[in-house]
Amino acid sequence: MAVSISVKDKVVIVTGGGQGIGKAYAETLAADGAKVVVAEINAENAAAVAKAIKGSGGEAIAVQTDVAKIDSAQNMAKATLDKYGRIDALVNNAAVYYGLKPAPFWDLDEADWDRVMSVNIKGIWNCCKAVIPQMIKQGKGKVINVSSTTAFIGAPFTLHYVASKGAVIAMTRSLCKEMALLAPEGEITVNAIAPGLTFSEATLSIIGSPEMAQPYLQQQTLKRQEVPADLAGAVLYLCSDASDFMSGHIMVVDGGVSLY
């Protein structure tokens, strides 16, 4: 039996799709034929990504979205339904990561702590509340949450961020179990991807220079920098029918550091 990993004509929302890794997800999904909703707080970046996708013959819309606000998440779902009539997959990629200032846990700013929790955790809760009921109506849908391998291996000086990514794993597992009770007739899957240290603009904004990542790179079995495109295949697979019987899984993509 032939199995194809394809998202052709699937409607996929990518939160935080305006730059970095989310942009790579949006571009890859669209190149494979998905209709992509770039749901991003930075309206200019969202519009630029959607425009570039359309310019290359793909299909996308930009919807300015603040995932930390339930009204905005609901508007994201409504705009998607108004334009495309269904939602096949939700990639919960938006997070407070760019520009985070590393500091010992006792020096972390309380406002930063609250912002990280509100976007990285509550944002996923909000988007799931806005989108999963529609998936239940459809009888099928795929949620892909973005965690981080820092939740497995720990990382100094970003305690708020690492804690939030641990919560993403716990939420993924619990939402997976809830689907059995809330949508027993449906096939709603909830999985996560856990990237390793990836050389996006955001990572460089935090570590300063690529040399700072040398000790981490030495732990990889694949001896080159991980880049956003390295993660796109895993997300494409989790959005496609090829992963239909997988739920509650955390897919690590980190060049062989954490053998989880």
Provide, rounded to whole angstroms, the least separation between the CB of residue 185 and ligand NAD: 32
Between CA 92 and CA 108 the distance in angstroms is 25
Provide, rounded to whole angstroms, the least separation between the CB of residue 194 and ligand NAD: 7
In the chain, the amino acid numbered 76 is M
Q: Considering only CA atoms, which of 85, 89, 39, 77 is closest in space to residue 60?
A: 39
Q: Which is nearer to ligand NAD, 8 or 78 (CB)?
A: 78
Between CA 167 and CA 189 the distance in angstroms is 18
Q: Which is nearer to ligand NAD, 146 or 183 (CB)?
A: 146
Q: Considering only CA atoms, which of 61, 36, 33 is closest in space to residue 47?
A: 61
Provide, rounded to whole angstroms, the least separation between the CB of residue 79 and ligand NAD: 14
Catalytic residue among 25, 161, 216, 260: 161
Provide, rounded to whole angstroms, the least separation between the CB of residue 183 and ligand NAD: 26
Residues 188 and 140: beta-carbon distance below 8 Å: yes
Question: Looking at residue 156, what DSSP letter applies?
Answer: T
Whether 260 is catalytic:
no
Point out which residues bind ligand NAD (CB under 6 A): 15-16, 18-22, 40-42, 65-68, 93-98, 119, 123, 146, 148, 195, 197-198, 200-203
Between CA 254 and CA 238 the distance in angstroms is 17
Q: Which is nearer to ligand NAD, 58 or 195 (CB)?
A: 195
Q: Which is nearer to ligand NAD, 72 or 183 (CB)?
A: 72
Q: Looking at the annotation, which residues are catalytic? A: 161
